[in-house]
Amino acid sequence: MKTTELKAGFQSGKYAELLKDIYIDESVLEYQKGRYVKAIESFEELFGVKDVEIYSAPGRSEIGGNHTDHQCGRVLAASINLDAIAIVAKKESGIVLKSEGYPMINVSLADLLPTKEEEGTSAGLIRGVAARLKEEGYEIGGFEAYVTSDVLNGAGMSSSAAFEVLIGNILSGLYNEGNISPVLIAQAGQYAENVFFGKPCGLMDQMASSVGNLIFIDFADVKNPVIKKVNVNFEDFNHSLCIVDTKGSHADLTDEYAAIPEEMKRVAAYFGKEILKQVDKNEFYTNIPEIRKVAGDRAVLRAMHWFEETDRVIDQVNALEEENFEEFKKLIKSSGDSSFKYLQNVYSVKNLSRQEMAVGLALSDVILKGKGVSRVHGGGFAGTIQAFVPNDIVDIYKKNMEDIFGEDACHVLKIRKYGGMKVL
């Protein structure tokens, strides 16, 4: 469809029901309409009036399973109604992509090997996703795109995973009739981030963005993860999911993140194994005195977190399916306490004077007074915290958080039922 026709459709309200279906929250529909119109206009300014398609990939919220995925554990995660969208036109060769606020990217598809120059760049992510999909036997090809995202960058909602899933869906839609599975698109995103971008990460972020909805994932077989939809709406329990951006950046923290799987693998190596999933939990606890000598105390604590956290996910799913929301909240609190005390990913040891997330968690305890719960969100060290807040005090919680961390710091989110998708 021509950009002019699409723009007129959004402006006239033709796609109002579509936007409501995707973003759920009626209060954001006018914003989304304007956002799509602006994105189409930006595409036209760059590339002219053309036949285009629109793609979307959501951010994610990790509900349970903090740093369990990279050791093939379990997670509970949800796609959220913040996303990256792309206005896309097919072209003969190469990828030309402009993200709002960033320089134009040009990626040749003639060479699909990782390069040192593209480490830590969006170009590396694009090349990596394309490389993996081609390795798996799918067609790849050129396109030009304008991308805009309201997934907070560097704040724990997985803006990079949303970008990777967006690229995967574009290649699936333009060249493979949309037939690449959400699981493979997620795996291609992780591959791009690990090999081309140079950041060690598990598969949870990409999977939650790609598959969509509230899902339980067991990564015991990482090539064929078990995925189960959890049919729960938090609002049925008169609670809202809030994510607070404490305004600490994830930049320059790659080595902090990398240390977590490295130390967990050090514990696994004591037993001659590669990852903690392969280690018997009882044997781990029995051998702690000797493990401390070879792996160190922090590694032991982080392993303790993993063993308890991956089991806790099962309890969280059971509590939700049994509609026992009070028990679910207790488990969320236990998860947060474990991350703070044992996993130790609430602040960076590089700069102990900066503890934004700890301040947010402490203030949440004061504001919520046991009625709601909060925890570290995502990778940690900086960025966002998560809170489940009773609906009757959401406005109070939001105001208090924004008094501390600034305007629009607190996002009251909905679970989105779609993962990566072709919008139009």
E strands of 173-257, at which residues?
Answer: 214-218, 226-229, 239-245
Give the pLDDT of residue 224: 86
- Dihedral pair phi/psi, residue 61, rounded to 5°: -125, 125
Q: Return residue ranges of the chain for CATH 3.30.70.890.
A: 234-413
Residue 120 is predicted with a pLDDT of 74
Q: Residue 96, SS3? A: strand
Determine contact, residues 55/88, Cβ cutoff 8 Å: yes
Give Rg (Cα) of the chain.
Answer: 21
Q: Can you name the CATH fold of 234-413?
A: Alpha-Beta Plaits (3.30.70)
Position 329 scores a pLDDT of 96
Please enumerate in sequence order all residues whose Cβ is within 8 A of that of 267, keeping only pairs 6 or more positions apart, or say none: 276, 279, 284, 291, 295, 299, 300, 302, 303
pLDDT value of residue 249: 65
Tens-digit pLDDT profile for the chain (424 aa)? Answer: 899 999 999 999 899 999 999 998 888 889 899 999 999 999 999 999 999 999 999 988 889 999 998 899 999 999 988 899 999 999 988 999 999 888 999 999 888 888 888 877 888 899 899 999 999 999 999 999 999 998 866 545 457 888 999 999 999 999 999 999 999 999 999 999 888 888 777 677 888 889 888 999 998 988 888 989 898 888 889 999 999 988 876 666 778 888 999 999 999 999 999 999 999 999 999 999 999 999 999 999 999 999 999 999 999 999 999 999 999 999 999 999 999 999 999 888 888 888 889 999 999 999 999 999 999 987 888 888 999 999 999 999 999 999 999 988 999 988 898 999 999 9
DSSP for residue 248: -
Asked whether 41 and 50 are in contact (CB, 8 A), the reply is no
Q: Name the segment(s) of the chain with CATH classification 3.30.230.10.
A: 3-231+417-422
Quick one: angle between helices 356-368 and 394-405, nearest 10? 150
Provide the pLDDT for residue 308. Answer: 97
Kind of pairing, strands 410-413 and 239-245?
antiparallel
State the architecture of 3-231+417-422 in CATH terms. Answer: 2-Layer Sandwich (3.30)
